[in-house]
Amino acid sequence: MNRGIQQYEVGDVFDDFLLIKSATKGVTSTGKPFMTIMLQDHTGDIEAKLWDSSPEDEKMYQPELIVRVTGDITSYRGKNQLKVKQIRLSNEQDSVSVHDFVETAPIPQEEMIEVITQAIFEMKNPNIQRLTRHLVKKHQKAFLDYPAATKNHHDFVSGLAFHVVSMLRLAKSIAQLYPSLDTDLLYAGVILHDLGKTRELSGPVAPSYTLEGNLLGHITMMVEEIKEAAQELGIEGEEVLILQHMVLSHHSKAEWGSPKPPLVREAEILHYIDNIDAKMNMMDRALSKVEPGEYTERVFPLENRAFYKPLTEKKNSVPTNM
């Protein structure tokens, strides 16, 4: 495959396929129509300007379609922009597929589901095990396809499962060092904590919030589903309540979306594991774009900090979680 869009520089000429992420029309200050099209490949995205666009253009170029574009890389307010010279929809002969243009978790789905299945298999408490297995089965396709968020961290295809797999590994390590932790609760909490995202978000590519996502949120929906699953499976022990509590409290504070703070040891630790994995993902991503001795751009969900990459940074390290 060719250079990713991320690698192009101002002055370069671009001529390749890209996926339309969004498309809006506008009118210049002198009254002429144009289109602003966000285009992406697996390495990133770029804003394209199609000047003097026709009503046909506006109908044709829709999100999730693939286009062949030729144009110049220019710069606008410090960001690259693509000034479109030629554009057409892809056709069958082009043999390109949406999957070639989206960022995806670095581990194959089969491997991820295996890690998750193994964690469930290791559970000793049959109630926790059956509940977790049931819910994973119920949402398996979306669980493996969805991102963990619309932006910020793990916002790519299969991001949710990848986040969970990383967290499971972290949970296992921590539980070995602190044997008082109940691994059944901890693993189940990790696996279920964000599963409600499969209902909160609209889909794996370019997700938006669903109505129930907006009005209830993924936490409330998952708490509800755990109860529902327990009823279906005829499970009645206190474990059901504890798992609901772990999902409910995993944002830790009311102002962050958890109406109850963690009141169980494993719930408290789940919150930390979630944080470490999300923050490592954001920091690694930002730091991978700069050289030692430089600062990253400001990372909004990390309190808008710009991180410094020390000169001591190991030159050939390859960050895992991108």
Q: Considering only residues 20-79, where is the footprint of a copy of itself by CB under 8 A?
A: 25-31, 49, 51, 72, 74-77
CB-wise, 108 or 293, nearer to a copy of itself? 293
Q: Is residue 317 a contact residue for a copy of itself (CB under 8 A)?
A: yes
CA atoms of 31 and 130, how far apart (whole Å): 63
Provide the residue count of the chain: 322
Contact 67, 87 (CB under 8 A): yes
Residues 6+ apart with CB under 8 A from 41: 4, 5, 16, 17, 18, 19, 100, 101
Helix H or strand E encompassing 239:
helix 238-249
CA atoms of 185 and 181, how far apart (whole Å): 8
Which residue in 68, 227, 235, 290 binds a copy of itself (CB under 8 A)?
A: 227
CA atoms of 229 and 244, how far apart (whole Å): 11
Which residue in 102, 269, 270, 278 binds a copy of itself (CB under 8 A)?
A: 269
Q: Is residue 316 a contact residue for a copy of itself (CB under 8 A)?
A: no
Q: Is residue 245 a contact residue for a copy of itself (CB under 8 A)?
A: yes
CB-wise, 84 or 102, nearer to a copy of itself? 84
Which tokens in the block code for residue 193? 């904590």
Closest distance of CB 166 from a copy of itself, Å: 7
Which residue in 9, 56, 110, 238 binds a copy of itself (CB under 8 A)?
A: 238
Contact 307, 313 (CB under 8 A): no
Segment contacting a copy of itself (CB under 8 A): 57-65, 96-104, 194-202, 267-275?
267-275
Which tokens in the block code for residue 64? 């999730």
Q: Is residue 138 a contact residue for a copy of itself (CB under 8 A)?
A: no
CA atoms of 101 and 38, how far apart (whole Å): 13
* CA proximity to 281, closest of 114, 148, 146: 148
Which DSSP category does 256 fall into?
Answer: G
Residues between 152 and 171 that touch a copy of itself (CB under 8 A): 166, 169-170
Q: Is residue 257 a contact residue for a copy of itself (CB under 8 A)?
A: yes
Residues 6+ apart with CB under 8 A from 29: none
Q: Is residue 150 a contact residue for a copy of itself (CB under 8 A)?
A: no
Q: Is residue 18 a contact residue for a copy of itself (CB under 8 A)?
A: no
Segment contacting a copy of itself (CB under 8 A): 14-22, 108-116, 133-141, 283-291?
283-291
CA atoms of 159 and 204, how far apart (whole Å): 9
Closest distance of CB 202 from a copy of itself, Å: 14
Which residue in 9, 79, 234, 312 binds a copy of itself (CB under 8 A)?
A: 312
Which residue in 3, 263, 289, 301 binds a copy of itself (CB under 8 A)?
A: 263
Q: Is residue 217 a contact residue for a copy of itself (CB under 8 A)?
A: yes
Question: Site size for a copy of itself, by CB under 8 A?
Answer: 90
CB-wise, 148 or 287, nearer to a copy of itself? 287
Contact 77, 64 (CB under 8 A): no
Q: Is residue 268 a contact residue for a copy of itself (CB under 8 A)?
A: yes
Q: Is residue 300 a contact residue for a copy of itself (CB under 8 A)?
A: no
CA atoms of 268 and 199, how far apart (whole Å): 25
The one-letter code for the residue type at 260 is: K
Closest distance of CB 149 from a copy of itself, Å: 17
